[in-house]
A = this chain, B = another copy of it.
Amino acid sequence: MSDEKATRRRGRGGSDARRARRDGAKIEQFPFITRRIPMTEVLSAEGLETIEANAETILEEIGIEFREDEDALALWRQAGADVKGERVHIPRGLARALIAKAPPVFTQHARNPERSVRIGGDATVFAPVYGPPFVRDLDQGRRYATIEDFRNFVKLAYMTPAMHHSGGTVCEPVDIPVNKRHLDMIEAHVRYSDKPFMGSVTHPARAADSVAMAKLVFGEDFVDNNCVLVNLINANSPMVWDATMLGALKVYAGAGQAAVISPFILAGAMSPVTIAGTLAQLLAEAMSGMAFAQLVRPGAPVVFGTFASSISMQSGAPTFGTPEPTLVLFAAAQLARRLGVPFRSGGSLCGSKTTDAQAAYESAQTLLPTLLAGVNFVLHAAGWLEGGLCSSYEKFVMDADQLGMMQVLSQGVDLSRECQALDAIREVGPGNHYLGCAHTQAHFKSAFYRSSIADNNSVEQWEAEGSQDATQRANALWKRTLAEYQAPALDPAIGEALDDFIARKKESMPDAFS
């Protein structure tokens, strides 16, 4: 036993000691959001019906391709679809009927039960950026991501009160062989956080490894009967599911684990250049994937996902924070509610290469619609930079601050008698101020959201302190956060079981880097 392990084991003196250690870390954590404000909607029922009718036409007449997967085609044939080659023509109404078997709301369990999240209904769960091969910070600039960066982002997510989820590929640890990095990634989520996390989807065998590792953490029985992994299954838009994604989806749906079925669309390239056309296509794609999951295992939890942005029609580059994707987001959320399934979209998206005003305008113009639309599962809620090519340390803590604000906004207006404050208004009266009154004294600590990044001081004080911009303050904040980080308690037996599993798996195959 290593000294480190011994220390951990010695430190484990029952639930009191665990609580003490957890208290020692003093992390503040908000529960997942249960919204108390209405949804913002942009389409009428009639408009939604038009989109739905068009999606059914796409499913039936044009069809969806399920590529290089005979199982999938056989399942569709059996369900009554008209399969021609790899093209599956799904009769009107069939996909919707299958999706009705999926739960409208489900719980994803975390290894710390206090961190478990509800996905669907009036709940919103924030998860970190997913997928970037690069990282950026103010000190070292842009570089390929490593497993150390990966662990750092897991730690930052753990330390962020309004981050409800540890996410998945918070960055690609390209220093680890491509066929083994999923093992280290899942280990990092378990060891450095106690929030719920995502499995690997880059190969069916890696999905199977993810489920196996989850069983080491949660126990086999528990995983067989509960959702402990949420997994991102991207369509190959337009209207294609490829073998890798179908393979991973079959593993997860078969194991009763959740799949986020996500058309990945840059409108104008992967979908029509119009909003209504994009909506019909992405609905058809999402429906085909969610229905297929139900063919694999009726009742498997699924999430209607969409990543939809537009492109610059001048350069072909993806653009973010512009009005058309916002309208797609609002309307797609309405379509998901009518289907009765949870919805994933949005986040803190931007095309900027640096954490400047562009990054912030675009991110805010994505994140606020995400909350107001009633998105249930929010990937990319913090850290996304450069169109998703970079995980940014400074952006992560800036976005985290915004997530805290969204959490407050979601709770609406407290109309209790105390908050109506008529007595305070009587007490103060015309021409006076409220700073010292009893009501203010009683509420000032919790009254207003306190930003971790914003500087609201006078220009004179700001200049005296070095005229720092938000990026510089964010740089200091993420470093301080990592310095203060303490790992949550983990049963050493679980840690050892994971280590053994990973060692065996790594030994079983040669490294692959592509």
Contact = CB atoms under 8 A, between A and B. Distances in A.
Nearest to A359: B357
Interface in A85-117: 87
Contacts of A281: 425
Contacts of A419: 274-277
Interface string A372-405: 1000000000000011010000000010001001
Nearest to A428: B238
A421 interface: yes
Interface string A448-459: 111101111111
A292 to B, nearest CB: 15
A231 interface: no
B435 A269 contact: yes
B420 A450 contact: no
Interface in A311-365: 311-319, 321-324, 326-327, 331, 351-365
Name the residue in A61, A357, A431 with the highest tally of chain B Cβ atoms < 10 Å from its Cβ.
Answer: A357
A310 interface: yes
Contacts of A269: 433-435
A41 B39 CA distance: 9
Contacts of A408: 322-324
Contacts of A279: 413
B239 A358 contact: no
A239 B273 contact: no
A236 interface: yes
A14 interface: no
A458 B134 CA distance: 13
A29 interface: no
Nearest to A442: B273
| Smallest CB-CB A-B distances: 3 pairs | A277-B421, A360-B360, A364-B364
Interface of A: 37-38, 40-43, 47, 50, 54, 57-58, 61-65, 87, 142, 236, 238-240, 267-277, 279-281, 310-319, 321-324, 326-327, 331, 351-365, 368-369, 372, 386-387, 389, 398, 402, 405-406, 408-409, 412-416, 418-422, 424-426, 428-435, 439-440, 443-445, 447-451, 453-459, 462-463, 467, 469-471, 474
